[in-house]
Amino acid sequence: MKSFFSIIIFLLGIVNPVFLNGQDFKQELVIKSIYKNALGSRKAYNDLRYLCKNTKGRISGSPQAAEAVEFTYQLMKQMNLDSVWLQPVMVKNWKRGKNEKASIHSSIMGIIEVPVLSLGGSVGTGEKGITAGIVEVKSFEELEALGKKKIKNKIVFFNKAMDPTLSSTFKAYSKTAFQRTRGAAEAAKYGAVAVVVRSLTIVNSDFPHTGIMFYEEGIPEIPAVVISTNGANLLNNWLKKDPGLQFYFENHCELWPEVLSYNVIGEIRGRERPDEIITIGGHLDSWDNSEGAHDDGGGCMQSIDVLRIFNELDIEPKRTVRAVMFMDEEYAQRGGQKYAEEAARKNEKHYFALESDAGVLTPRGFGFSLADEKRLQNLLSLNVYFKPYKTNLFKEGGWGVDIYPLRHICPILIGYIPDDSRYFNYHHSANDTFEKINHREMQMGTAAIASLVYLIDYFDF
């Protein structure tokens, strides 16, 4: 049965008053109702609390990841959706192991412990750990200049800080990520025995921020850890006073056999064009040291909440709208690849895909990636609907790691853009907890996503 609200919308549709600077008044009312519903609901926020507190450390392959799959599957099962299913995907199974520790040993300053964390994919040091002299660099060029003579049998300390003067923290991140992802492979070329990498965060803190790293074929695989920014500053300081100091660390990572996991998918079937698919999603896995509240439990719960809002407001999309909880974004992106593979194999017609994986902080807008310039301009012009909600930063260029593999069969990819000032305070660290989530910020974002999905579906771009 239709709600009173839907009847009003239906009547307005018949009268179809086009005013308010050419905008469709009916659309504005629907959007208003979406925001009202989102802001008045604590469902997704409470579900996120459960996910964070009960499946903390849900790295792909872990029991916590399996629990997160079960939780979100049951969550969507209870929502009266048209279908909810698990999409099987084999995932890598890297385990950190226990007792990671590090200390600096100086004959001048003494001994001090510093917070470190293995990088995702790192090998372990073995029982005894590694003790060696340490060489600080900020670039691969510096590494090359030092050469084998200075690097061999040493630990290389990559200490390039994220540039706080850049207005985009994502840009600052991308300019320093090389040392985390490729530092070990580069240092090993010159005979280094291990690497210690400065955490990729703007703030000075004691939290190490992990993330994926890659070895190169034919190059020795050496252990790699990140050190907190406070630890990195201290090490830098001590090295100036005592260049001959020793650094010790041990870690015990192992790569276990691959295991079966799942993407979790729920959908509302389209009323007019059920074969055309709109995908909205986030990734269900998190790093093993983290509750994964901003990265990316929040994005997952927002995606599910869009379906709840559509159902509660009787918004019947023309096209099929799917919420997808992608598995394994952090380690090997297997979930996103599998979803795209299956979509291609089934010849599915994808209309657009949107991902929320930049935190659930204050909403700013959306980024759009598509080849058709006219369509792009039309999409960008939708930002007028979002002005009252201060979420009208619509720009060219945007996607998400999990929806990126869909690009060959999906003409429009969209990335949700929240404010990025605080994101890297949390990213990939134990500081990314549920307590860092603001209900209003999260739900303003959910409302923006739901409104955009509604508009793009309605206008048939």
Q: Which of 24, 250, 295, 402 binds Zn ion (CB under 5 A)?
A: 295
Nearest to 124 by CA among 237, 244, 35, 221: 221
Q: Which of 296, 328, 402, 432 binds Zn ion (CB under 5 A)?
A: 296
Residues 6+ apart with CB under 8 A from 198: 157, 158, 159, 160, 161, 176, 179, 226, 227, 229, 232
Q: Shortest gap between Cβ of 402 and Zn ion (angstroms)?
A: 9
Considering only the stretches 69-77, 86-94, 243-251, 292-300, report the one whose residues sit in contact with Zn ion under the rule CB under 5 A: 292-300
Considering only the stretches 33-41, 161-169, 220-228, 289-297, report the one whose residues sit in contact with Zn ion under the rule CB under 5 A: 289-297
Write the Ramachandran bin of 20: left for phi over 0, alpha for psi from -120 to 50, otherwise beta: left
Beta-strand ranges (E) seen in 269-399 are: 273-283, 319-326, 349-355, 363-369, 393-396
Q: Is 355 in the site for Zn ion (CB under 5 A)?
A: no
Q: Shortest gap between Cβ of 296 and Zn ion (angstroms)?
A: 4
Q: Shortest gap between Cβ of 287 and Zn ion (angstroms)?
A: 9
CB count within 10 Å of CB 404 equals 18
Please, which residue, 115 or 282, has the CB nearer to Zn ion? Answer: 282
Q: Shortest gap between Cβ of 426 and Zn ion (angstroms)?
A: 11
Considering only the stretches 154-162, 265-273, 294-302, 424-432, report the one whose residues sit in contact with Zn ion under the rule CB under 5 A: 294-302
- For the window 238-277, what string marks contact with Zn ion as x by the rule CB under 5 A? ----------------------------------------
Q: Shortest gap between Cβ of 295 and Zn ion (angstroms)?
A: 4
Q: Cα separation of 23 and 7, whole Å?
A: 20
- Half-sphere exposure of 158 toward its Cβ, with a 13 Å CA cutoff? 29
Please, which residue, 296 or 420, has the CB nearer to Zn ion? Answer: 296
For the record, the structure tokens of 100 come out as: 């990671």
Considering only the stretches 30-38, 47-55, 212-220, 293-301, report the one whose residues sit in contact with Zn ion under the rule CB under 5 A: 293-301
Considering only the stretches 8-16, 38-46, 48-56, 350-358, report the one whose residues sit in contact with Zn ion under the rule CB under 5 A: 350-358
Contact 413, 369 (CB under 8 A): yes
Q: Cα separation of 345 and 447, whole Å?
A: 33
Please, which residue, 136 or 296, has the CB nearer to Zn ion? Answer: 296
Q: Cα separation of 305 and 46, whole Å?
A: 11
Q: Is 420 in the site for Zn ion (CB under 5 A)?
A: no
Q: Give the total of residues touching Zn ion (CB under 5 A).
A: 3
Q: Is 357 in the site for Zn ion (CB under 5 A)?
A: yes
For the record, the structure tokens of 290 come out as: 């983290």
Binding site for Zn ion (CB under 5 A): 295-296, 357
